[in-house]
Structure 1
């Protein structure tokens, strides 16, 4: 690795380390860079004289390089002859025989050139051979191909270009231990199966092209000046402005899921505390005082700056770990859609278990089951025809611009009747391009958690998410352990294409954080919503008939520190007010809040604490 690459890698490592330390900082700008450059001349003295040289297996497999025979110091001569006469049938059959080259030994004039030939002698060799010029590359298994020497453009434009490879004979990279080889196919040498397959390469600037014609057009420009000819594509005047085009993201999804996860607040044991301590040391957590809930990569942990108990690391105290206990979700359908409702629509689905892994696996499997039902519903009922509407028809006929991009309709920019495929109602006149872009996403289901990135996401990743078969995960990271969004794609169907090929259809689950759209707690949000608009909250009365509007409208208190294990859910009475103490904020439960909790306990007719605990994700 070159010193410049090491320096750049070091800078990138510092930036990445800063972005992943959990502080939320991001790199805004680089104010200055002190760069010291020294002109290196070592490469020009490289010379090749190795005999009995074997090509590396990776390079040999490409079949792009000829390793000619030599007597030790004349490998440069035989490498050049191998390139110049590569088309000879006898050479192709016997490239390793010295006798194959005997008729061509005078094709290259090396008068006065000391052997072995070094890079610093190539200019003189070009003077002795007016029809030849030499381009020299190096190769390593780690860094690939790099350019060592390019001829001047006035020399290269009118001569036969000979491509040579100067290789290290051994791993110690001793500059006196080199070997010349001939490159007979630069395309095979540079191409790979990972995306640059069948590309055509320019030997001067190493730009690649799809066709020989494009390469030929490029070479005409590349050999006209000493500057490399890299063509800059400038957008046309019509496309010179970057505008929003993902109109499909503006179409409301047919269904959405609102979910929540509750957890046991299990105290940390001595062994777990030691493991957490080691992880914090490895991550080099800063000494800033933290009064928050943080999670490690293997478990979710409640931490607080309280030196009287727990394991202290700097000013961070590990007290307990959060283990998933219950997960609930509500499937909500878009209003006004035509078609029968789904059986899970409008009903809270709740899964609980004393085993955290089993709890989350059941929760995720239920989400996948509902997603498959949504996919089947969309296939049957999301292709509604446009409703006949005189007013809409008049608006459509009078429209002269697309209601998406505002481009004027012309003979080449057709007008289309854009309607809602779920309700059949007219939306506006759209051009053909925007009408295709604004398609309903029928294989997409958004799932909203409030404060997903700070809490629920950690519970998902630390338990069952990795056990889901055929789930492909992708995230939008904010730090190494904090993700703004999670996307899951899983196969849902398979179709047969016209030529008999099979194509797998994937469905997308998009986990989103509603806190990023509604930056407030649930208590404040529910108070801002009028009682008559709390439709889904009112549906809880079907499960708990005695619940009053007053109880549903107030955010109650919950003894999170009391729920340490499944055994706590079996108690038959509401815990005392002292058990409602919040160790995170170090605040006690007020008598008014405790009275509200007692009222809720009676109205839901709880015989065990587990019933009150089950109300949390439902609410």
Structure 2
């Protein structure tokens, strides 16, 4: 036991607030974000405070014709079935009250959801722990208008979410966790295991007999991504007015960040690990984000056009002999097996039928009605043969080795299927936030995110574009990563070539082979870009880190300004942004080549390093 004791209490405060849960009232129309018809909802038209009771009775005793009208006449005869003892009227939106209701009515399993108007989605208010067909299931929806709320009956969860999903087939939805299944069988298998949204536990999956070996299967990740885009944004840190600072009481608002510019470079790479910048753009202006979206979509169109015309195969002397003598697939390392007799027979039959169709079309001079089906059977039979084929790089045409037909298809590059990674350092922590504001501007209609929490996204897919965070692979600041390359020119081929083509000498370029410094908090208005000199050293003070830059860093920034003959701060902003992106590109390409040489995997196929290392473990066996 310690003999320490408090000498005095400097401050002690208690805050007391009234708890006034929103209580349901008379009838409220459904919000506009819900479809007016075929929505699976029965909105009881009551003029009293008993909407909860009428909704429960309506769910227990369904009426086919106008179940929402005159609840006293339709459901009044069943009122005695419910035990409402110790239940306040009107029934508040409160978990303890729902639990008390279930304790009073042991045969009822109650689930209550709330409709979120802004996000157009369901949110859980209460999920019953009662499972099984012996219970009477009651699903209620709470809708809110100002300080009033109202209970409705959810007659069919499928109809409620139908219009908010691209999948228009029948949906089978778990009422306890809202997991969606396309078949009733899947839902029935899920229900006994479901623990609800907040109590779900991990289900250990034990090895199955004769299938207990874990093997590497992501063969597509062995192929270097043909294109990758490195990008970054810069921001103005605008000051807030006193009124804006006090809008949130529990969070201190300091600044508003607005994009001031962007830079990106498009890097093309082949399987020989040769790479170069094929396109780039640098822009400064108030419409930077909008222009960024437009330019990236233009780059995607150019990439799609290039990938749609793969290079012809180039075989060096001796490649054909090596191919004919090969007994193993270079991709999966598996042997080329002699196909089973039934597989060969099926292929011969499909081939014979295909020839018959072609002869028929030649005679009749029109397309055979079963042509597509016959072609499909032939392709399936050919695929089952899994014959030996020649694999080559679609970018430079180089022959890579013999492969199974199935393995070769895994490495195939599709002009409209192959993901194009857009790599940014600390995308998860910062750059994803402004991007989310304009993500709807992309023409792609499919958006997938891997969230870490409500405010951070590890990765984001927008159609064919995949936004990745290089910090998930290299968990250090860009300044430390650049230091790891030791300032050697050969480690920065992209940066050196880019600025050499701009006419800068090697001595000047060497000044850029380190992370620059930028006065983020000082650059708080567009007028600052017209300044003809750098701010004093105190202008580089960071409110976030509560510290200033070193004298050496400030002297280096001044030297860069002088050597590159800057006319105004706007030019310094552009050079800083350009350099950041190019240094990131060089660092990540060094990392990529190391991974391809050591593990045979391209990290740009993975969201984070752990996922790649997991594949590397199985691939090395």
Does residue 253 of structure 2 align to residue 318 of structure 1?
yes
Residue-by-residue CA offset, 1:456-500 (whole Å, 9 max, x unaligned) = 111211x322333444321111111111101101xxxxxxxxxxx
The answer to whether the Cα contact below 8 Å between 1:262 and 1:327 also exists between their aligned partners in 2 is: yes
The answer to whether the Cα contact below 8 Å between 2:237 and 2:521 also exists between their aligned partners in 1 is: yes
* C-alpha deviation, 1:319, in angstroms: 2.2
The equivalent position to 1:585 in structure 2, one of 540, 545, 557, is 545
Residue-by-residue CA offset, 1:15-48 (whole Å, 9 max, x unaligned) = xxxxxxxxxxxxxxxxxxxxxxxxxxxxxxxxxx
* C-alpha deviation, 1:388, in angstroms: 2.3
* C-alpha deviation, 1:148, in angstroms: 4.6
The answer to whether the Cα contact below 8 Å between 1:418 and 1:430 also exists between their aligned partners in 2 is: yes
Task: Tell me, in whole angstroms, the C-alpha distance in 2 between the residues paired with 1:456 and 1:197.
Answer: 36
Unaligned runs of 5+ in 2: 1-59, 69-76, 78-107, 114-126, 142-157, 173-182, 187-204, 340-385, 580-621
Q: Report what 1:606 is aligned to.
A: 566
The equivalent position to 2:226 in structure 1, one of 240, 243, 254, is 254
Q: Partner of 1:318: helix, strand, or coil?
A: coil
The equivalent position to 1:348 in structure 2, one of 280, 285, 294, is 280
Residue-by-residue CA offset, 1:494-549 (whole Å, 9 max, x unaligned) = xxxxxxxxxxxxxx011111112222222232233321231221112433626613
Task: Tell me, in whole angstroms, the C-alpha distance in 2 between the residues paired with 1:402 and 1:208.
Answer: 41
The answer to whether the Cα contact below 8 Å between 1:449 and 1:512 also exists between their aligned partners in 2 is: yes
Q: Report what 2:215 is aligned to.
A: 243
Counterparts of 1:101-500 in structure 2 under 5 Å?
A: 148=133, 195-196=169-170, 237=210, 239-275=211-247, 277-278=248-249, 281=250, 313=251, 317-335=252-270, 345-353=277-285, 355=286, 358-380=287-309, 382=310, 384-412=311-339, 413-443=386-416, 444-461=419-436, 463-489=437-463
Does residue 495 of structure 2 align to residue 537 of structure 1?
yes
Residue-by-residue CA offset, 1:84-116 (whole Å, 9 max, x unaligned) = xxxxxxxxxxxxxxxxxxxxxxxxxxxxxxxxx
The answer to whether the Cα contact below 8 Å between 1:568 and 1:609 also exists between their aligned partners in 2 is: yes
The answer to whether the Cα contact below 8 Å between 2:271 and 2:393 also exists between their aligned partners in 1 is: no
Q: Report what 2:147 is aligned to.
A: none
Q: Report what 1:134 is aligned to.
A: none
The equivalent position to 2:63 in structure 1, one of 48, 54, 65, is 54
* C-alpha deviation, 1:375, in angstroms: 0.5
Residue-by-residue CA offset, 1:558-579 (whole Å, 9 max, x unaligned) = 2112100101111112212221
* C-alpha deviation, 1:251, in angstroms: 1.7
* C-alpha deviation, 1:424, in angstroms: 2.1
Task: Tell me, in whole angstroms, the C-alpha distance in 2 between the residues paired with 1:458 and 1:272.
Answer: 20
Residue-by-residue CA offset, 1:411-458 (whole Å, 9 max, x unaligned) = 224222222222222223222222222222433311110111111111
Q: Partner of 1:434: helix, strand, or coil?
A: helix
Task: Tell me, in whole angstroms, the C-alpha distance in 2 between the residues paired with 1:138 and 1:566.
Answer: 60
* C-alpha deviation, 1:325, in angstroms: 0.6
Task: Tell me, in whole angstroms, the C-alpha distance in 1 between the residues paired with 2:558 and 2:66.
Answer: 77
Residue-by-residue CA offset, 1:245-293 (whole Å, 9 max, x unaligned) = 2322332122111101100122222233233x25xx5xxxxxxxxxxxx
Task: Tell me, in whole angstroms, the C-alpha distance in 2 between the residues paired with 1:471 and 1:515.
Answer: 27
Q: Partner of 2:566: helix, strand, or coil?
A: coil
Residue-by-residue CA offset, 1:347-382 (whole Å, 9 max, x unaligned) = 5311221x3xx21010111001111011111112x2
Task: Tell me, in whole angstroms, the C-alpha distance in 2 between the residues paired with 1:430 and 1:253.
Answer: 19
Task: Tell me, in whole angstroms, the C-alpha distance in 1 between the residues paired with 2:558 and 2:526.
Answer: 21
The answer to whether the Cα contact below 8 Å between 2:270 and 2:395 also exists between their aligned partners in 1 is: no
Task: Tell me, in whole angstroms, the C-alpha distance in 1 between the residues paired with 2:184 and 2:484.
Answer: 59
* C-alpha deviation, 1:327, in angstroms: 0.7
Task: Tell me, in whole angstroms, the C-alpha distance in 2 between the residues paired with 1:147 and 1:554.
Answer: 64
Residue-by-residue CA offset, 1:196-229 (whole Å, 9 max, x unaligned) = 489xxxxxxxx9579xxxxxxxxxxxxxxxxxxx
Does residue 429 of structure 2 align to residue 509 of structure 1?
no
Task: Tell me, in whole angstroms, the C-alpha distance in 1 between the residues paired with 2:535 and 2:112.
Answer: 67
Task: Tell me, in whole angstroms, the C-alpha distance in 2 between the residues paired with 1:260 and 1:437.
Answer: 32
Q: Partner of 1:362: helix, strand, or coil?
A: helix
The answer to whether the Cα contact below 8 Å between 1:400 and 1:408 also exists between their aligned partners in 2 is: yes
Unaligned runs of 5+ in 1: 1-49, 60-71, 73-136, 151-165, 172-187, 199-206, 211-231, 282-312, 490-507
Q: How many residues align?
A: 367
Q: TM-score, normalised by structure 1?
A: 0.52
The answer to whether the Cα contact below 8 Å between 2:236 and 2:258 also exists between their aligned partners in 1 is: yes
Task: Provide the aligned C-alpha RMSD in A.
Answer: 4.3
* C-alpha deviation, 1:139, in angstroms: 12
Task: Tell me, in whole angstroms, the C-alpha distance in 2 between the residues paired with 1:613 and 1:470.
Answer: 31
Q: TM-score, normalised by structure 2?
A: 0.52
Does residue 528 of structure 2 align to residue 555 of structure 1?
no
Task: Tell me, in whole angstroms, the C-alpha distance in 1 between the residues paired with 2:133 and 2:515.
Answer: 71
The answer to whether the Cα contact below 8 Å between 1:261 and 1:326 also exists between their aligned partners in 2 is: yes
